[in-house]
Amino acid sequence: MRAFDVVTAKDSRHAVALLAEHAPTAKVIAGGTDLLADLKFSSHGPAMVVDISRVEDLKAITITDEGLSIGALVTHTAIMRSPIINDMFPALVHAAHTIGAVQTRNLGTLGGNLVTGVPSMDSGPTLMALEAIIVILSPAGRRQVPMAEFFLGPRKTVLKPDELLAEILIPKQNLGKPTHFLKFGLRKGQALALVSAAASVWVDVDTQICSAPRISLGAVAPTVIRAPKAEAHLDGRPLTADAMAEAGRIAASEAKPISDFRASAGYRRELVAVLTKRALEGAYELAKTKRRGA
C-alpha cells in the first residue's frame, strides 16, 4: 500500500471538520473492507485517510419521529442482531447475512456498503424498496437524498468530497412494511450477486389488493434500480400468482444486465423475472401475517 497519513475522528462533527480540512485528497475509512482492499491494488492513493470507525454517534439503530434511523457505522453483524430490525425488517437481516462472511460483516458497515456505489451491493435493493433516505453531513449542514437519487453510476454517488454519509433513514410510513430480499450468487458464502431483488408491499388482508408495491434490483444495471413499470402493474390490484409472475417479466424488461465472466446478460434477465416474482411472494407471505401499522 502507498503511504498515507491517518487522522481519527472523535465524533461526527469532528469527522465533518476533518473532511472539510483534507478534502479532496482524503478518503474516509470505516470498516475498511472495501477501502483497504482497493488501496492495496491502486497505483495512486489518498494523502490522508480520515478514520471514522470510532465515531460513536453514527452507530445507533433508533426509531425517531422520521422513521427508523440506522447510523452509517452500524455493522452488518449489528444489523443481524438488532431486535428492532429483526422485528420490523427481516429482509434487512437476510440481506446483511448475504454479505461476505462473519469477519467482513463484523467490520463492514451499512454506510460503507452504500458509498461503494457498486451495482451488486447487497444492502441496496432492500433499502431502495423501502424508499430509504440517505442523510448526509457537510460543513453546509445536513441534507437528505432519496436512495433512488443517491447513485449516479457504477462506483459513483452524489456524495461530494467534503460530505459524509451519516445515517440511513427508513421513512415512518414504511415502518414494518412487508419486504423480502433474495440474492442469487454462484455460492452460498462470499459470492457477489449475479442478481438480487427486493420487494415491499402493503396488502389489504380482506381483498388481497396491494398498494405501494416497490421493486428494486441489484447487479443488473449501472446502479441498484427500481422497476417502476413492474410496480405500476401491481398497484391497486389483487396480488395473484399471475400478477406476480407478470411483474417479474416486466421487471426483466426494465433491467439492463451485462454479460461478464460470472453470467450472461440473458441468464441475468431470466433471474430477474424469477427473483422478482419470488421476492413478491415472500413479501406477500409476510403481509398475510401482519397488518399495516401493526
Partner 1 sequence: MAKVTITVNGEARTVSVPPETTLLKLLREHLNLTGAKLGCDVGDCGACTVIVNGKSVNSCLMLASQVDGFDVLTIEGLATTDQLHPLQTAFEEKGSLQCGFCGPGVIMSAKALLDEEPDPSVERIRDALAGNLCRCTGYSKMIEAVQAVANSVNSHPSVKSA
Judge contact between 198 and 284, C-beta under 8 A.
no
Smallest gap from residue 76 Cβ to partner 1 (A): 12
Smallest gap from residue 177 Cβ to partner 1 (A): 28
Measured from the CB atom, is 77 or 126 closer to partner 1?
A: 77
Q: What does the CA dihedral 228, 67, 60, 181 come to, rounded to 10 degrees?
A: -30
Binder of partner 1 out of 10, 32, 204, 292 (CB under 8 A) = 32
Asked if 141 interacts with partner 1 (CB under 8 A), we say no
Cα angle value 58/89/290 (rounded, 5°): 145
Of residues 87-126, which lie at the interface with partner 1 (CB under 8 A)?
Answer: 100-104, 106-107
**C-alpha grid cell for residue 125?**
435493493
From 32-40, 200-208, 256-264, 277-285, span contacting partner 1 (CB under 8 A): 32-40
Smallest gap from residue 90 Cβ to partner 1 (A): 17
Binder of partner 1 out of 36, 63, 140, 205 (CB under 8 A) = 36
Query: How many chain residues bind partner 1 (CB under 8 A)?
Result: 31
Of residues 234-293, which lie at the interface with partner 1 (CB under 8 A)?
Answer: none
Class of residue 259 by CB neighbours under 10 A (exposed 0-12, middle 13-18, buried 19+): exposed
Alpha-carbon distances, residue 239 vs 22, 42, 180, 202, 215 (angstroms): 52, 49, 15, 10, 14
Q: How far is 231 from 61, CA to CA, in rounded Å?
A: 29
Asked if 47 interacts with partner 1 (CB under 8 A), we say no
3-state secondary structure of 50: strand
Task: Lay out the site mask for partner 1 across 52-81 (x = CB under 8 A, - = otherwise).
Answer: -x-----------------------x----
172 φ/ψ angles, rounded to the nearest 5 degrees: -50, -40
Smallest gap from residue 32 Cβ to partner 1 (A): 5
Asked if 3 interacts with partner 1 (CB under 8 A), we say yes
H/E element, 231: helix 228-234
Class of residue 289 by CB neighbours under 10 A (exposed 0-12, middle 13-18, buried 19+): exposed
Strand partners, 226: 216
Asked if 86 interacts with partner 1 (CB under 8 A), we say no
Alpha-carbon distances, residue 14 vs 9, 38, 55 (angstroms): 6, 25, 9
From 48-56, 59-67, 192-200, 204-212, span contacting partner 1 (CB under 8 A): 48-56
Binder of partner 1 out of 26, 29, 137, 224 (CB under 8 A) = 29
Of residues 149-188, which lie at the interface with partner 1 (CB under 8 A)?
Answer: 188
Binder of partner 1 out of 23, 26, 28, 49 (CB under 8 A) = 49
Nearest to 195 by CA among 243, 255, 109: 255
Smallest gap from residue 8 Cβ to partner 1 (A): 7
Binding site for partner 1 (CB under 8 A): 1-6, 8, 29, 31-33, 36-37, 39-41, 45, 49, 51, 53, 77, 100-104, 106-107, 188-190
